[in-house]
Amino acid sequence: MEFDDDIKACAALVHRADPDRFMAAMAAPVEARAVLFPIYALNVEVARAPWVTQESMIAEMRLQWWRDALQEIAERPNVRRHEVVTPLSRVLSPHLAAQLDEYVAVRRWDIYRDPFEDEVHFDAYINHSAGTLMAVSAQALGAADEEVLRNFGYAMGVANWFRAIPDLEARGRIPLLDGTQDGVRVLAQKALDRLARARSTRTEVSSQARPALYAGWQTEWVLRTTLARPERVAAGALAQGELRRRFSLMKTAATGRW
């Protein structure tokens, strides 16, 4: 697929707003980048939609705009012209576009300040956000078992959630059901168990789909660090040093062992 101006715009958007996913995409083969950048650009746009306004109705409208765009992609052939939507329409099947609709819908939680109702509610949020994004990213590239992808996506989603907690709390959100150190450890271990399950069946992810999983290259480190030092979550101290961060991504891409 050609790197046209739209895909370049998507790459620039991801570079500015999500440097980790940008690095992961750049570690992928060139042809995979042309698929991943529009999906990651959608993630940027949807993730920030609830935060750019204090008005819940406007935030709802922003998310609905993306749901309408994804419906157009799923139904075809009349898809709105947009620097993210247009390249998305070239890389998403109707099925994958419909899956991303659930990803957008679940982000409504971000608009409001209500806590999660229970563990089922929290797990559904992570599965439909991080899990669905991982499933779509990988399956847009090649064949991959959805359960493997969702297990990996859940682990990655929890790791990223831990890293985001100081910012979420500063914005008045209640991000965890149990914010005690013991509660944090339990969640980290649960995510590590899901990661182990995904890795135990890694052969169910084709080599073509594998580059989508590079985005989770820091997941195990974050989860194991959280398990050992849960106080680092509240302190916002879950970032790898730059050399470790770059080397671990290079190792993941070189070996293909996510």
The tens digit of pLDDT for each residue in 70-115 reads 999 999 888 999 999 999 999 999 999 999 999 999 999 999 999 9
Cα–Cα dist 66/50, whole Å: 12
Give CA separation, 180 vs 123, 184, 186, in Å: 18, 6, 10
* pLDDT higher than 70, residue 1: no
Compute the average pLDDT of residues 234-241: 95
CB 64 within 8 A of CB 46: no
* pLDDT higher than 80, residue 2: no
Give CA separation, 15 vs 65, 160, 223, 240, in Å: 23, 17, 25, 18
* pLDDT for residue 53: 86
Q: Which residue has the tokens 């080397």?
A: 247
Mean pLDDT of the chain: 96
Q: Is the omega angle on the peptide bond into residue 77 within 30 degrees of 0, that is, cis?
A: yes
In the numeric block, which tokens belong to residue 196?
Answer: 């182990």
Compute the average pLDDT of residues 187-206: 98
pLDDT in tens, 166-189: 999 999 999 999 999 999 999 999
Model confidence, pTM: 0.96
* pLDDT for residue 91: 96
Contacts of 217 (CB under 8 A, 6+ apart): 24, 248, 249, 252, 258
| Cα-based torsion angle of the residue sequence 211, 212, 218, 222 in order, rounded to the nearest 10 degrees | -150
- Calculate helix-pair angle for 132-139, 30-48, nearest 10 degrees: 150
Q: Give the start-end residues of each E strand in 146-200.
A: none
Contacts of 34 (CB under 8 A, 6+ apart): 1, 2, 3, 7, 87, 91
DSSP character string of 18-48 = -HHHHHHHHTS-HHHHHHHHHHHHHHHHHHH
In the numeric block, which tokens belong to residue 216?
Answer: 């989770």
